[in-house]
């Protein structure tokens, strides 16, 4: 287990984007709470003429599992300029299952196994400066 944690931390350190201490702190803190790191979503957003675009990833989630999505931006625990959202075909990005709009994280209890989309985008009107961000997907627990 220590080897796995060491390899995960080494991988996070060598990632091309978002290599801040805060991001490592996010992963370490989650591990202390008994959550399991599953995946990270790293991006560097650069505004182009006020464009608020971002990046989207597909992720397969399992029914009966509680997940936590955490977002870190540059050196901020609570993101100021970006937002992470979880959505799919039945819940479009404008009406997502969850979002970090108000907090830097949210929990999602998956009731239907399938492919979901995770996006990291600038908050409305916040596309002024380039920023690095990383979203972290954590396993919390399986429903009984």
What average pLDDT does the segment 130-135 reach? 85
> pLDDT (tens digit, 9 = 90+) per residue, 15-57?
444 445 655 666 676 667 788 888 889 888 887 765 567 899 9
Q: Which of 137, 138, 104, 134 has its CA nearest to residue 24? A: 134
Of 49-58, 64-73, 119-128, the poorest mean pLDDT is in: 49-58
Domains of the chain: 2-142 (2.60.120.380)
How much is the mean pLDDT over the chain? 79
Q: Which of 58, 31, 5, 42 has its CA nearest to residue 138? A: 31
What average pLDDT does the segment 66-80 reach? 80
pTM across the whole model = 0.76
Of 11-20, 98-107, 120-129, 135-144, the poorest mean pLDDT is in: 11-20
Residue 61 has pLDDT above 90, yes or no: yes
Strand partners, 128: none
What is residue 74's predicted lDDT score, i.e. its pLDDT? 76
The rounded distance, in Å, linking the Cα atoms of 96 and 15 is 28
Q: How many CB atoms lie within 10 A of CB 113?
A: 12
What number of helices (H) and strands (E) belong to the chain? 2, 8
Q: The dihedral of CA 42, 48, 78, 59: what is its sign?
A: negative
Residue 13 has pLDDT above 50, yes or no: no
């Amino acid at each position: 287990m220590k080897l796995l944690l060491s390899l995960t931390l080494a991988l996070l350190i060598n990632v091309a984007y978002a290599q801040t201490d805060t991001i490592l702190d996010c992963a370490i803190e989650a591990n202390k709470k008994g959550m399991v790191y599953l995946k990270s979503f790293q991006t560097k957003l650069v505004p182009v003429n006020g464009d608020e675009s971002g990046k989207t990833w597909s992720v397969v989630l399992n029914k009966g599992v509680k997940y936590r999505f955490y977002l870190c931006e540059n050196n901020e625990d609570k993101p100021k300029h970006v937002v992470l959202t979880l959505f799919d075909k039945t819940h479009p990005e404008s009406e997502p299952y969850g979002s970090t709009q108000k907090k830097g994280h949210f929990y999602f209890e998956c009731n239907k196994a399938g492919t979901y989309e995770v996006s990291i985008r600038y908050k409305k009107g916040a596309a002024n400066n380039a920023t690095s961000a990383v979203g972290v997907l954590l396993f919390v627990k399986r429903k009984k």
